[in-house]
Structure 1
Amino acid sequence: MEEPVNVLLVDDHQVVLDGFLARLELEPQIHVVGTASNGVDAIEAVGRWHPDVVLMDVSMPIMNGIDATRVIKSNFPNVKVIMLTMHDNREYIIQVMQAGAVGYMLKEISAENMVQAIKTVFQGATYFCESVTQTLFTQPIPVAHHPANPLSRREESILKLVAIGHSSKKIASLLDISYRTVETHRQNIKHKLDLHSTAQLAKYAVENGLVD
């Protein structure tokens, strides 16, 4: 049997923490190692329990989730952070990605999708709930980009979709091209940018205005 994914829950509302615990405690592949109620406690808890994944609230006292994520990713780069919020807010989404989080989901997410999100980021991919994907994808790609950007327009389109969590199969369907073509573009993008993971691609997309 595979080892369970160790998860830290961070939220300043006890009722929310209790709800998340109730959702996850019946999932054999998820193990909640502990909880925290603000960003400072979250940083300390990560150092103490070494979770694989952190479910992090955005708005908290003492230190918010975005600032805490920056510190956690600086000190514990292998920890995956999924940001939780009540708001489908574009500004939050961009700040979250820039801070180093690899997922963004609303607190109303179903238990099934929450477990899927945890497993997805643990395996090295990004996860954005459907409404967040819509918020990002419905915005047009800016005409002007950083002058050093080596990507073609098609590659930019594919990178944007990769950054917001779409699979190659889904991208092929959205752009009406073949799966093999998408995979070829993805490899070319990684080669041009000298990047090796989906998280790195997502960060590049944010920093270069593809999802901003």
Structure 2
Amino acid sequence: MNLPSPIRVALVDDHSLVRDGIKALLGVMAPLEVVGEAESGAEAIALVGRCQPDLLLVDIGLPDINGLELTRLLRSRYPALKVLILSMYDNHEYVSESLRAGASGYVLKNAPSREIIAAIEAIGSGGTFYSADIAQRLIADKPTDNELTPRESQVLYKMAQGMNNKEMARDLDISVRTVETHRLSIRRKLNIDKPAALVKYAIDHGIIPR
């Protein structure tokens, strides 16, 4: 590992066994120091303010805040902070949203340990790292900045019908967290927050009939 100085790493995951496993993996890497860990978004915000890590390893499924929204929040407060998403979700929308949130990489939790180490080395050296199959899908499926994906259009249609997140998840056969990610992406792309304005957009663009 050829980093110019020890990299300070913090872990954010609501499962202690996962954090212990990552710490054991990182224990063989040098120069590297695990400076703290958190099991929720609120704890992560306090941890970053207190410990000032160089790199944060973040899970998406946190109990109080979506890990992608946490990434966006922390990156806006601490621009020098690097974030690596470690997730069980092999999901194009999550990966795309992680890019927009400011993460420097995305690796699946079940990836080989060498891939997680490679990601930390790359990001610690100022680069980015995405698993090869994930990177290929990002290149193939990348929409324009303000273009909604087909799934986002479906979510917007359901939003215009007044459905809540649980109803949309059930109707579209996806998780509630995936619905939340789509809604965040829709708001970012359209720069629209008010429900009435979203309905108007959906009508104007043929997503729902007039």
Shorter chain as denominator, the TM-score bin is 0.5 to 0.7
Shift of 1:127: 0.8
Return the letter of the residue paired with 2:125: Q
**Is 1:33 the equivalent of 2:40?**
no
CA distance in 2, matches of 1:134, 1:85: 18
- Give the match for residue 42 of structure 1: 44
What is residue 108 of structure 2 aligned with on the other side? Answer: 106
Matches within 5 A, 1:148-159: none
Pairing of 1:1-212 with structure 2 (within 5 A) = 2-139=4-141
Asked if the contact 2:96/2:138 (under 8 Å) is kept, the reply is no
Q: What is the aligned partner in structure 2 of residue 160 from structure 1?
A: none
| Ranges of 4+ aligned residues in structure 1 off by more than 6 Å | none
In structure 2, distance between residues paired with 1:103 and 1:145? 19
Deviation at 1:145, TM superposition (A): 7.7
Contact 1:12 1:61 in 2 (8 A): yes
Q: RMSD of aligned C-alpha atoms?
A: 2.2
Where in structure 2 are there 5+ consecutive unaligned residues? 147-188, 190-210
Matched residue count = 146
Sequence identity (%): 38
Distance 2:97 2:86 in 1: 13
What one-letter code is carried by the residue in structure 1 that aligns with 2:41?
G
CA deviation after TM superposition for structure 1 residue 33, in Å: 0.8
Shift of 1:27: 1.1
The DSSP-based 3-state class of the residue aligned with 1:120 is helix
Give the direction of change, closer, same or farther, for the CA distance of 1:145–1:34 in structure 2 (3 Å limit).
closer
Shift of 1:123: 1.9
* TM-score, normalization by structure 1: 0.63
Taking the aligned partners of 1:8 and 1:16, their CA distance within structure 2 comes to 13
* Higher Cα radius of gyration: 2
Instruction: Give, in whole Å, the separation in 1 of the partners of 2:9 and 2:93.
Output: 26
